[in-house]
Amino acid sequence: MVQSTVPERILLTGATGAIGGRLLPALLAREPRAPAVRALVRNPDGADLPAGVGVVKGDVFAGTGLDAALEGVDVAYYLIHAMGRGNKGDFADLDRRGARQFGEAAERAGVRRVIYLGGLGGKNAEESHHLQSRAEVAKILAAHVPEPVHARAAMVIASDSQSFVILRHLVSRLPVMICPEWVGTRSQPIAARDATSALRALGEVDGVPDEVELGGAEVLTYREMMLRTADALQRRRPPMVPVPFMTPRLSSLWVSLFGGVEYPLVRPLVEGLRAEMIVSTPPPEGVNDRPLGFDVAVAEAIAGA
């Protein structure tokens, strides 16, 4: 039987993002008793958050508002990444700074558990600046709390997940795909509903390991994902012509042009697409026990879930 402890007070960062925005109502819906939930946001006036959420103005990268946000908190979710924020410097440097400042503040406040959502990197992950930065953030956070949890996931299939947005745009816009070699890379994408449920469970289940791997019910290549997404969109499956010699830069420009996402964000994502993202160690009981299949996950994302 799964043993769990409902936190008294939770801090959620990234509450307005693709994952945090789904996790917040799930935390508030806990029965029979929901924990007190606090959100750290940079612009409280522009944040459309549910009633009952405590709001603290702050910024992990600037190091502001952290002590006030973490006061009395026993479980915190760190769902923040610098990639794509338009910063002129290296996103990894900014992520490193944010993790260090947040971790130090969590340690001062006596936070018991910090849950961080990173990447599920396997073969070729060392070639991805993006995945290496995620792993470094997890390591920094782990040094400051007694119960660190690095939740490692592949692509989250959600209507506003950048990776799925790219996938959907490519399928929708291209009659023929001149594809880079990474379309043959295997991955284990997870539905937004499953990722949200797993993250909530990781805040409650007793004795979770410091690394938890999350994936969907199927292992697929990106080629298979594209073709099945075309089916879900009721579009003709586009012919695919692989081009093995396409460099990461050219591949990123191709994805940016047809995927609808700006190049600075696409480049690190494309580097990560060369790494296999497959669950090697199943998560503990009570965490993502029965994940959805790819087609159901895509149907929910297309419907706006």
Question: What's the confidence (pLDDT) of residue 65?
Answer: 97
244 beta partners: none
pTM: 0.89
Question: What's the confidence (pLDDT) of residue 262?
Answer: 62
d(CA 194, CA 216): 8
Q: Which two tokens stand for residue 121?
A: 């990197």
- pLDDT tens for 264-285 read 556 656 666 778 899 999 999 9
CB 206 within 8 A of CB 3: yes
**Residue whose entry in the numeric block shows the structure tokens 């935390």:** 27
CB 169 within 8 A of CB 32: no
Q: Please choose, from the candidates 150, 172, 181, 154, the residue with its C-alpha nearest in 3D space to the C-alpha of residue 244.
A: 181
Return the ∠ at Cα 191 (arms to 53 and 152), rounded to 5°.
80
Question: What's the confidence (pLDDT) of residue 85?
Answer: 53
3-state helix, strand, coil in the chain (%, to 5): 40, 20, 40
d(CA 244, CA 223): 14
289 beta partners: none
CA distances from 83 to 56, 88, 106, 245, 283 (A): 23, 11, 23, 27, 27
Low-confidence ranges of the chain (pLDDT < 50): 87-89, 124-125
Question: What's the confidence (pLDDT) of residue 148?
Answer: 98
Domains and CATH numbers, the chain: 9-220+273-302 (3.40.50.720)
**Residue whose entry in the numeric block shows the structure tokens 């709001």:** 55
Question: What's the confidence (pLDDT) of residue 143?
Answer: 98
| Residue 35 CB contacts under 8 Å (≥ 6 apart), including other chains | 6, 7, 8, 9, 10, 27, 75
Q: How many other β-carbons are positioned within 10 Å of the β-carbon of residue 289? A: 14
Say which DSSP state 304 is in. T
Question: What's the confidence (pLDDT) of residue 251?
Answer: 56
